[in-house]
Amino acid sequence: MSDQQPSSERGRIRIDGFDEAVEARRDEFDSSPTTLESTTESHRDRLDRRRLRNAWRRFRRNRSATIGLGVIVAMAVLAIVARPIEVSTAQVTVTLQPFSLAPYGPGETFVGPANAPPSPTHPFGTDWAGRDLFSRVLVGGRYTLSIGLVAVVLALGVGVPLGAIAGYFGGWADEILMRIVDVLYAFPFLVLAIALVPILEPVPVLGSGFWTVVVALVLTGWIGYARLLRGEVLSIREREYVTAARALGVPDREIVRRHVVPNAIAPVIVQATLNVGTVVLTAAALGFLGLGLEPGSAEWGAMLSQGRDSLIRGDWHVTVFPGLAIFLFVLSINLVGDGLNDALDPGRDVSDERRRLR
């Protein structure tokens, strides 16, 4: 009876080395405080990569969105290779792009008869000054497409941080920002841009030209992104993972940057993609009204303005081809935006997962 184990030890199976291994593993885990954080980070990275792959797969299945993306890429490539791109300094000139798809420079006059119709020599015809319209449309894509892209990117850079701050922190910051947004929303987008361009032209840094139009479009375009992101952040900041991050003592700046904005940015990206077409149309309208870019530039809206008199005389080609370029680009952007809206829909991941489980 003396050899019997105490009752508290009865029924236990002891495996030599097992308890020591468990203790060593526990000590190793406890001695590295970043293990849990790094594991969570890697898991989140895997989820993000899987979402991106699923979104790209859904986007590729959308035939109209794929065609629209192909048209945009083709127009961008044609604009880049239209004429050589050179950067000049005081002593040297560096050629960044040596190709020249356009047969003439956009400002070369009387390369053919004035207002000549389309022909093998001039596929899009010529304008009132004998300038080749094919060359001007290709080079003009640089102005119009770059204005749309740069203005939207800069407007996102302004609207996204302000919307995130207003939605997450609330209080006086939210109140002040939303009142500013309400005041700016009282003016139509185009009317506000028309009013801002003459105000910005005397600024020495901007002058009259490309950057004047871009800044005017940024000052009128950020309000939509700020309001949209604020609405998304208001719903996301009450989610469980945000509350858990606050309970763990994660700084608010990190919560906004790593948890709130990434989960709220998808509708803003879709809206920004669709707004590229709106910005291009607004830039073309400003050029048509003679605001922004210098007179005689190859920007598509300015070309429409310069061809009004020719159109009245029956020279249809002077305005048809720049207008067709604007129409094709805006249509393609809208198709891509609709495709992104479907691809980035968070409910699609759940439906795809259920479909695989069936």
17 domain-assigned: no
pLDDT-derived band at 36 (thresholds 50, 70, 90) equals: very low
**What's the mean pLDDT in 275-280?**
90
How far apart, in Å, do the first and last CA atoms of the chain sit?
Answer: 61
1 domain-assigned: no
Question: Percent of the chain, pLDDT > 90?
Answer: 34
pLDDT of 45 > 70? The answer is no
158 domain-assigned: yes
25 domain-assigned: no
Residues shown for the chain:
358
**Lookup: tokens for 89:** 């300094």
Q: What integer pLDDT is reported at residue 22 of this predicted model?
A: 45
307 domain-assigned: yes
pLDDT of 70 > 90? The answer is yes
What's the CA dihedral at 314, 317, 321, 323 to 10 degrees?
-10
pLDDT of 79 > 90? The answer is yes
Q: What integer pLDDT is reported at residue 77 of this predicted model?
A: 94
- The mean of the pLDDT values for the chain is 82
The listed range with the strongest mean pLDDT (66-70, 128-132, 194-198, 311-315) is 66-70
231 domain-assigned: yes
Domain with 163 in it: 43-357
pLDDT higher for 98 or 44? 98
Structural domain total, the chain: 1
pLDDT of 111 > 60? The answer is yes
- pLDDT of 123-172, one tens digit each? 999 998 899 999 999 999 998 899 999 999 999 999 999 999 999 988 89
74 domain-assigned: yes
pLDDT-derived band at 207 (thresholds 50, 70, 90) equals: low
268 domain-assigned: yes
Indicate the DSSP class of residue 137.
H
pLDDT of 235 > 80? The answer is yes
**DSSP code string of 197-263:** HHHHTT-TTT-SSHHHHHHHHHHHHHHHHHHHHHHHHHHHTTSHHHHHHHHTT--HHHHIIIIIHHH
**Lookup: tokens for 137:** 């449309």
User: Which uninterrupted H or E stretch holds 353?
Assistant: helix 346-357
Here the CATH number for the domain that contains residue 197 is: 1.10.3720.10
Q: What integer pLDDT is reported at residue 241 of this predicted model?
A: 85
**What's the mean pLDDT in 201-208?**
74
